[in-house]
């Protein structure tokens, strides 16, 4: 099944409540050609053999339409999804040397490049300097929206923003790709010695694994999106100590991982009395 049920905390009208949502499953699929690693692609389970065949064709690795390679399933993950394939193809029909050429992770939005396997997330948990007030999240997205000049003119760009835990904007960047916008933000923070101040990262599209991995590398413990997360994004965020918030729209959001880092119902009441 390509959907999985996840529990979350739904924030609306200054209150949290429990919720269960179906999220699209995202898994890593390793593809080798004649036992030589070719790529790791992030994908939703189903039609894995067709995916491998089409990828090799469009990458101009194997384009014969008459001699079909044998594609063997050589691995499954803990949930029973296919996670490794070996394409057995005649050497004389392989059109170019792919070793070292496209040995990359190709994510569901083409954002993670230059690797043949998923990074080890490590054992160090990210931790914010303090809990985040949920009302600040809407303000962050409003500030990003005001800076989205290219989107206002074209409607064709994504945006990412970096903020302190108390809602101060550090940087906003736009790009046609979500992952590119995130990379631009992190690059700006590094160049301007602001990375240590950044504790919140907002993105305008959905959150899949590669966005979480970038937040991990940058050491940013809060990640928020206007759209949906994938299952692997939530699992990775939970493991890394990141609080992942999705469907952040109109003063609403859903927390899918590490909710203890967000001020929740009772804590909000205490804050309100101060």
Our answer to whether residue 248 is catalytic in this structure is no
**What Å distances lie between residue 198 and 148, 212, 230, 266, 274, CA to CA?**
20, 15, 24, 27, 26
Measured distance CA(69)–CA(86) in Å, rounded: 10
Measured distance CA(266)–CA(261) in Å, rounded: 13
Do 175 and 203 contact (CB within 8 A), yes or no? no
Measured distance CA(252)–CA(19) in Å, rounded: 13
Residue 189, classified by CB atoms within 10 Å of its CB into exposed (0-12), middle (13-18) or buried (19+), is: buried
**Token output for 97:** 């040397």
Q: Which of 110, 171, 200, 248 is catalytic?
A: 110
Give the sheet arrangement for strand 222-225, strand by strand.
Answer: 15-24, 3-12, 252-255, 243-249, 222-225, 200-203, 158-163, 169-175
Measured distance CA(212)–CA(209) in Å, rounded: 5
Nearest to 58 by CA among 46, 34, 41, 82: 41
Q: Which residues are catalytic?
A: 110
């Amino acid at each position: 099944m390509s959907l999985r049920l996840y529990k979350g905390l739904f924030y609306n009208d200054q209150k949290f409540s429990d919720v269960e949502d179906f999220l699209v499953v995202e898994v890593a699929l390793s593809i080798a050609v004649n036992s030589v690693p070719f790529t790791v692609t992030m994908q939703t389970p189903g039609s894995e053999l067709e995916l491998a065949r089409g990828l090799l064709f469009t990458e101009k690795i194997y384009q014969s339409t008459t001699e079909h390679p044998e594609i063997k399933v050589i691995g499954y993950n803990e949930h029973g999804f296919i996670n490794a394939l070996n394409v057995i193809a005649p050497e004389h029909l392989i059109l170019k040397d792919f070793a070292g050429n496209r040995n990359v992770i190709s994510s569901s939005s083409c954002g993670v490049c230059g690797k043949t396997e998923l990074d080890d997330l490590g054992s160090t948990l990210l931790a914010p300097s303090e809990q985040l007030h949920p009302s600040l999240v809407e303000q962050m997205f409003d500030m990003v929206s005001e800076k989205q000049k290219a989107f206002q003119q074209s409607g064709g760009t994504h945006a990412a923003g970096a903020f302190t835990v108390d809602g101060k904007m550090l940087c906003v960047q736009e790009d046609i790709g979500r992952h590119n916008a995130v990379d631009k933000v992190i690059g700006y923070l590094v160049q301007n010695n602001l990375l240590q101040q950044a504790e919140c990262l907002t993105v305008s599209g959905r959150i899949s694994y590669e966005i979480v991995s970038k937040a991990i590398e940058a050491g940013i413990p809060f990640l928020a999106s206007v759209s949906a997360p994938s299952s692997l994004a939530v699992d990775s965020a939970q493991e890394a100590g990141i609080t992942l918030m999705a469907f952040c729209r109109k003063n609403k959001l859903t927390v899918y991982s590490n909710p203890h880092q967000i001020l929740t119902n009772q804590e909000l009441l205490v804050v309100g009395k101060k």
